[in-house]
Amino acid sequence: MNSAAELPALSAEHGLTRFEQPLSERMRTFLRIEFLYEQLLFHVDEPTGFGSRAAITALLEILTILGRGDVRADVSKELERHAELLSRYRSQPGVDPARLTGLIDNIEDLRVQLTEAGPQIINPLKECEFLNTIRHRSAIPGGTCMFDLPDYGYWLHLPAAERRRQLDDWTARLKPICDAVAEVLWLTREANEASERVGTAGFYQHSVDRNEQLNLVRVLLPSATGIFPEISAGPHRFTVRFLRWRGVETRPVQVTQDVRFLLALC
Protein backbone atom coordinates (compact mmCIF):
# COMPACT_ATOMS: atom_id res chain seq x y z
CA MET A 1 0.00 0.00 0.00
CA ASN A 2 1.38 3.42 -0.98
CA SER A 3 1.58 6.25 1.49
CA ALA A 4 -0.87 9.13 1.25
CA ALA A 5 1.72 11.24 -0.52
CA GLU A 6 2.09 8.56 -3.20
CA LEU A 7 -1.60 8.12 -3.97
CA PRO A 8 -2.79 9.37 -7.39
CA ALA A 9 -3.63 13.05 -7.53
CA LEU A 10 -7.20 13.78 -6.50
CA SER A 11 -8.48 15.01 -9.82
CA ALA A 12 -11.19 14.06 -12.27
CA GLU A 13 -8.64 12.80 -14.81
CA HIS A 14 -7.87 9.82 -12.58
CA GLY A 15 -11.55 9.06 -12.02
CA LEU A 16 -13.17 9.45 -8.65
CA THR A 17 -15.60 7.12 -6.92
CA ARG A 18 -18.15 8.94 -4.78
CA PHE A 19 -19.50 7.60 -1.51
CA GLU A 20 -22.34 9.36 0.31
CA GLN A 21 -23.79 9.18 3.79
CA PRO A 22 -27.11 10.91 4.59
CA LEU A 23 -27.38 12.75 7.91
CA SER A 24 -31.17 12.89 8.12
CA GLU A 25 -34.08 10.55 7.48
CA ARG A 26 -35.39 12.89 4.79
CA MET A 27 -32.08 12.79 2.91
CA ARG A 28 -31.94 9.00 3.30
CA THR A 29 -35.37 8.75 1.70
CA PHE A 30 -34.40 11.06 -1.16
CA LEU A 31 -31.25 9.05 -1.92
CA ARG A 32 -33.20 5.81 -2.02
CA ILE A 33 -35.78 7.29 -4.39
CA GLU A 34 -33.02 8.61 -6.65
CA PHE A 35 -31.32 5.19 -6.65
CA LEU A 36 -34.53 3.35 -7.54
CA TYR A 37 -35.70 5.92 -10.10
CA GLU A 38 -32.41 5.62 -11.98
CA GLN A 39 -32.89 1.85 -12.05
CA LEU A 40 -36.46 2.27 -13.28
CA LEU A 41 -35.46 4.58 -16.13
CA PHE A 42 -32.61 2.27 -17.13
CA HIS A 43 -34.72 -0.87 -17.28
CA VAL A 44 -37.68 0.80 -18.97
CA ASP A 45 -35.43 1.11 -22.02
CA GLU A 46 -34.71 -2.63 -22.08
CA PRO A 47 -36.95 -4.45 -24.59
CA THR A 48 -36.73 -7.84 -22.84
CA GLY A 49 -39.18 -9.36 -20.39
CA PHE A 50 -36.47 -9.43 -17.73
CA GLY A 51 -35.91 -5.72 -18.30
CA SER A 52 -39.60 -5.09 -17.72
CA ARG A 53 -39.50 -7.24 -14.58
CA ALA A 54 -36.61 -5.17 -13.21
CA ALA A 55 -38.46 -1.94 -14.05
CA ILE A 56 -41.60 -3.16 -12.25
CA THR A 57 -39.53 -4.12 -9.18
CA ALA A 58 -37.97 -0.65 -8.99
CA LEU A 59 -41.35 1.02 -9.50
CA LEU A 60 -42.97 -1.01 -6.70
CA GLU A 61 -40.11 -0.21 -4.31
CA ILE A 62 -40.55 3.51 -5.04
CA LEU A 63 -44.26 3.18 -4.29
CA THR A 64 -43.44 1.50 -0.99
CA ILE A 65 -41.19 4.39 0.03
CA LEU A 66 -43.72 7.01 -1.07
CA GLY A 67 -46.38 5.25 0.97
CA ARG A 68 -44.45 5.67 4.23
CA GLY A 69 -44.67 9.45 4.48
CA ASP A 70 -45.53 12.65 2.68
CA VAL A 71 -42.49 12.77 0.41
CA ARG A 72 -44.28 15.20 -1.90
CA ALA A 73 -44.59 17.78 0.88
CA ASP A 74 -41.02 17.16 2.09
CA VAL A 75 -39.45 17.67 -1.32
CA SER A 76 -41.61 20.75 -1.95
CA LYS A 77 -40.30 22.30 1.28
CA GLU A 78 -36.74 21.51 0.27
CA LEU A 79 -37.24 23.15 -3.13
CA GLU A 80 -38.62 26.23 -1.42
CA ARG A 81 -35.64 26.34 0.93
CA HIS A 82 -33.16 26.12 -1.92
CA ALA A 83 -35.01 28.83 -3.87
CA GLU A 84 -34.74 31.15 -0.86
CA LEU A 85 -31.03 30.40 -0.48
CA LEU A 86 -30.37 31.09 -4.15
CA SER A 87 -32.39 34.32 -4.07
CA ARG A 88 -29.92 35.74 -1.55
CA TYR A 89 -27.21 35.67 -4.22
CA ARG A 90 -29.03 38.07 -6.54
CA SER A 91 -27.17 41.08 -5.14
CA GLN A 92 -23.81 39.35 -4.80
CA PRO A 93 -21.00 40.53 -7.11
CA GLY A 94 -19.67 38.03 -9.62
CA VAL A 95 -22.90 36.04 -9.82
CA ASP A 96 -24.22 35.15 -13.27
CA PRO A 97 -27.78 36.59 -13.12
CA ALA A 98 -29.03 34.54 -16.08
CA ARG A 99 -27.71 31.31 -14.58
CA LEU A 100 -29.17 32.16 -11.17
CA THR A 101 -32.55 33.05 -12.63
CA GLY A 102 -32.57 29.80 -14.60
CA LEU A 103 -31.95 27.75 -11.45
CA ILE A 104 -34.70 29.52 -9.51
CA ASP A 105 -37.15 29.25 -12.42
CA ASN A 106 -36.46 25.51 -12.71
CA ILE A 107 -37.15 25.07 -8.99
CA GLU A 108 -40.41 26.98 -9.36
CA ASP A 109 -41.44 24.84 -12.35
CA LEU A 110 -40.89 21.67 -10.32
CA ARG A 111 -42.91 23.08 -7.42
CA VAL A 112 -45.76 23.93 -9.80
CA GLN A 113 -45.70 20.39 -11.19
CA LEU A 114 -45.90 18.96 -7.68
CA THR A 115 -48.80 21.26 -6.80
CA GLU A 116 -50.69 20.42 -9.98
CA ALA A 117 -50.14 16.69 -9.43
CA GLY A 118 -51.85 17.00 -6.04
CA PRO A 119 -51.53 14.91 -2.88
CA GLN A 120 -53.16 11.91 -4.57
CA ILE A 121 -50.47 11.75 -7.24
CA ILE A 122 -49.66 8.04 -6.78
CA ASN A 123 -53.18 6.81 -5.98
CA PRO A 124 -53.77 5.33 -9.48
CA LEU A 125 -50.65 3.19 -9.00
CA LYS A 126 -51.55 2.21 -5.44
CA GLU A 127 -55.02 1.18 -6.58
CA CYS A 128 -53.86 -0.79 -9.64
CA GLU A 129 -54.85 -4.42 -8.97
CA PHE A 130 -52.28 -5.73 -11.44
CA LEU A 131 -49.40 -3.97 -9.63
CA ASN A 132 -50.75 -4.83 -6.19
CA THR A 133 -50.84 -8.53 -7.03
CA ILE A 134 -47.22 -8.42 -8.17
CA ARG A 135 -46.25 -6.47 -5.03
CA HIS A 136 -47.81 -9.06 -2.70
CA ARG A 137 -46.17 -11.99 -4.47
CA SER A 138 -42.77 -10.23 -4.65
CA ALA A 139 -42.26 -10.82 -0.93
CA ILE A 140 -41.93 -14.56 -1.72
CA PRO A 141 -38.64 -15.68 -3.31
CA GLY A 142 -39.53 -16.53 -6.89
CA GLY A 143 -43.13 -15.67 -6.12
CA THR A 144 -43.74 -13.92 -9.44
CA CYS A 145 -43.10 -16.97 -11.63
CA MET A 146 -45.57 -17.55 -14.45
CA PHE A 147 -47.35 -20.39 -12.59
CA ASP A 148 -47.93 -17.99 -9.67
CA LEU A 149 -48.99 -14.98 -11.76
CA PRO A 150 -50.12 -16.09 -15.22
CA ASP A 151 -51.48 -12.61 -15.98
CA TYR A 152 -48.06 -11.11 -15.25
CA GLY A 153 -46.45 -13.79 -17.41
CA TYR A 154 -48.86 -12.94 -20.23
CA TRP A 155 -48.07 -9.22 -19.92
CA LEU A 156 -44.33 -9.92 -20.02
CA HIS A 157 -44.80 -11.71 -23.34
CA LEU A 158 -46.64 -8.83 -24.96
CA PRO A 159 -44.75 -6.91 -27.67
CA ALA A 160 -41.98 -4.74 -26.22
CA ALA A 161 -43.61 -1.55 -27.56
CA GLU A 162 -46.86 -2.31 -25.74
CA ARG A 163 -45.07 -3.00 -22.45
CA ARG A 164 -43.03 0.16 -22.93
CA ARG A 165 -46.16 2.28 -23.34
CA GLN A 166 -47.57 0.93 -20.08
CA LEU A 167 -44.29 1.41 -18.22
CA ASP A 168 -44.03 4.97 -19.55
CA ASP A 169 -47.54 5.69 -18.27
CA TRP A 170 -46.73 4.39 -14.79
CA THR A 171 -43.37 6.17 -14.73
CA ALA A 172 -45.00 9.47 -15.74
CA ARG A 173 -47.08 9.39 -12.55
CA LEU A 174 -43.90 9.21 -10.46
CA LYS A 175 -42.02 11.78 -12.52
CA PRO A 176 -43.05 15.00 -10.67
CA ILE A 177 -41.85 13.66 -7.31
CA CYS A 178 -38.77 11.88 -8.62
CA ASP A 179 -37.63 14.83 -10.75
CA ALA A 180 -38.07 17.13 -7.75
CA VAL A 181 -36.04 14.76 -5.56
CA ALA A 182 -33.28 14.65 -8.19
CA GLU A 183 -33.16 18.45 -8.30
CA VAL A 184 -32.95 18.75 -4.51
CA LEU A 185 -30.09 16.26 -4.42
CA TRP A 186 -28.26 18.07 -7.22
CA LEU A 187 -28.62 21.41 -5.43
CA THR A 188 -27.47 19.82 -2.18
CA ARG A 189 -24.39 18.28 -3.77
CA GLU A 190 -23.49 21.50 -5.61
CA ALA A 191 -23.83 23.64 -2.49
CA ASN A 192 -20.26 23.00 -1.31
CA GLU A 193 -17.04 22.10 -3.08
CA ALA A 194 -15.01 19.15 -1.90
CA SER A 195 -11.73 19.87 -0.12
CA GLU A 196 -8.73 17.63 0.39
CA ARG A 197 -8.40 15.84 3.73
CA VAL A 198 -6.19 13.12 5.17
CA GLY A 199 -7.36 10.09 7.07
CA THR A 200 -4.55 9.42 9.55
CA ALA A 201 -3.72 5.71 9.67
CA GLY A 202 -6.89 5.05 7.66
CA PHE A 203 -9.19 6.95 10.02
CA TYR A 204 -10.83 10.38 9.90
CA GLN A 205 -13.18 12.04 12.40
CA HIS A 206 -15.10 15.28 12.01
CA SER A 207 -17.05 17.13 14.68
CA VAL A 208 -20.18 18.86 13.40
CA ASP A 209 -20.81 22.39 14.62
CA ARG A 210 -24.25 22.73 16.16
CA ASN A 211 -24.94 25.69 13.88
CA GLU A 212 -24.15 23.65 10.78
CA GLN A 213 -27.19 22.21 9.02
CA LEU A 214 -25.54 19.33 7.23
CA ASN A 215 -27.58 16.88 5.20
CA LEU A 216 -25.00 14.83 3.37
CA VAL A 217 -21.39 13.69 3.73
CA ARG A 218 -19.58 12.95 0.45
CA VAL A 219 -16.25 11.15 0.29
CA LEU A 220 -14.42 11.01 -3.04
CA LEU A 221 -11.53 8.64 -3.71
CA PRO A 222 -9.49 7.78 -6.81
CA SER A 223 -11.10 4.70 -8.31
CA ALA A 224 -7.86 2.79 -8.86
CA THR A 225 -6.65 2.70 -5.26
CA GLY A 226 -8.63 -0.36 -4.13
CA ILE A 227 -9.80 1.57 -1.06
CA PHE A 228 -13.32 2.40 0.03
CA PRO A 229 -14.72 4.29 3.04
CA GLU A 230 -17.03 3.09 5.78
CA ILE A 231 -18.86 6.18 7.05
CA SER A 232 -20.57 6.29 10.45
CA ALA A 233 -22.56 9.40 11.30
CA GLY A 234 -24.15 10.69 14.47
CA PRO A 235 -25.83 13.99 15.38
CA HIS A 236 -22.59 15.66 16.48
CA ARG A 237 -19.80 13.91 14.58
CA PHE A 238 -19.04 11.47 11.83
CA THR A 239 -16.14 9.14 11.22
CA VAL A 240 -14.64 7.64 8.10
CA ARG A 241 -12.75 4.36 8.27
CA PHE A 242 -10.89 3.41 5.10
CA LEU A 243 -10.84 -0.25 4.11
CA ARG A 244 -8.93 -2.14 1.46
CA TRP A 245 -10.93 -4.32 -0.93
CA ARG A 246 -9.62 -7.89 -1.03
CA GLY A 247 -12.21 -9.62 -3.18
CA VAL A 248 -15.52 -11.28 -2.46
CA GLU A 249 -13.96 -14.26 -0.66
CA THR A 250 -12.12 -12.23 2.01
CA ARG A 251 -13.22 -9.55 4.43
CA PRO A 252 -11.84 -6.06 3.80
CA VAL A 253 -9.11 -4.86 6.16
CA GLN A 254 -8.57 -1.38 7.53
CA VAL A 255 -5.88 0.65 5.83
CA THR A 256 -3.07 1.48 8.25
CA GLN A 257 -1.40 4.20 6.16
CA ASP A 258 -2.58 7.79 5.77
CA VAL A 259 -5.24 8.20 3.07
CA ARG A 260 -5.68 11.39 1.12
CA PHE A 261 -9.27 11.98 -0.04
CA LEU A 262 -11.79 14.67 -0.94
CA LEU A 263 -14.58 15.55 1.48
CA ALA A 264 -17.70 17.59 0.79
CA LEU A 265 -20.10 18.59 3.58
CA CYS A 266 -23.46 19.47 2.06
What domains does the chain contain, in order, with CATH numbers?
Answer: 4-24+193-265 (2.60.440.10), 25-190 (1.10.3900.10)
Predicted confidence (pLDDT) per residue in 146-165, tens digit = 999 999 999 999 999 999 99
Q: pLDDT band at 94, cuts 50/70/90? A: confident
Helix (H, G, I), strand (E, B) or coil at 80: helix
Q: CB-based contacts of 188: which residues, under 8 Å, 6+ apart?
A: 27, 215, 216, 266
**C-alpha dist (Å) from residue 198 to 3, 195, 238:** 11, 10, 15
Query: How much of the chain exceeds pLDDT 70, in percent?
Result: 95
8 A C-beta contact, residue 231 and residue 178: no
- Does 231 or 91 have the greater pLDDT score? 231
**Mean pLDDT, residues 6-32 taken together:** 79
- Quote the DSSP letter at residue 158: S
pLDDT, residue 91, reads: 79
Identify the residue with better confidence: 7 or 185: 185
Strand order in the sheet with 259-265: 16-22, 216-222, 259-265, 195-199
The answer for residues whose C-beta is within 8 angstroms of residue 132's C-beta and 6 or more apart is: 126
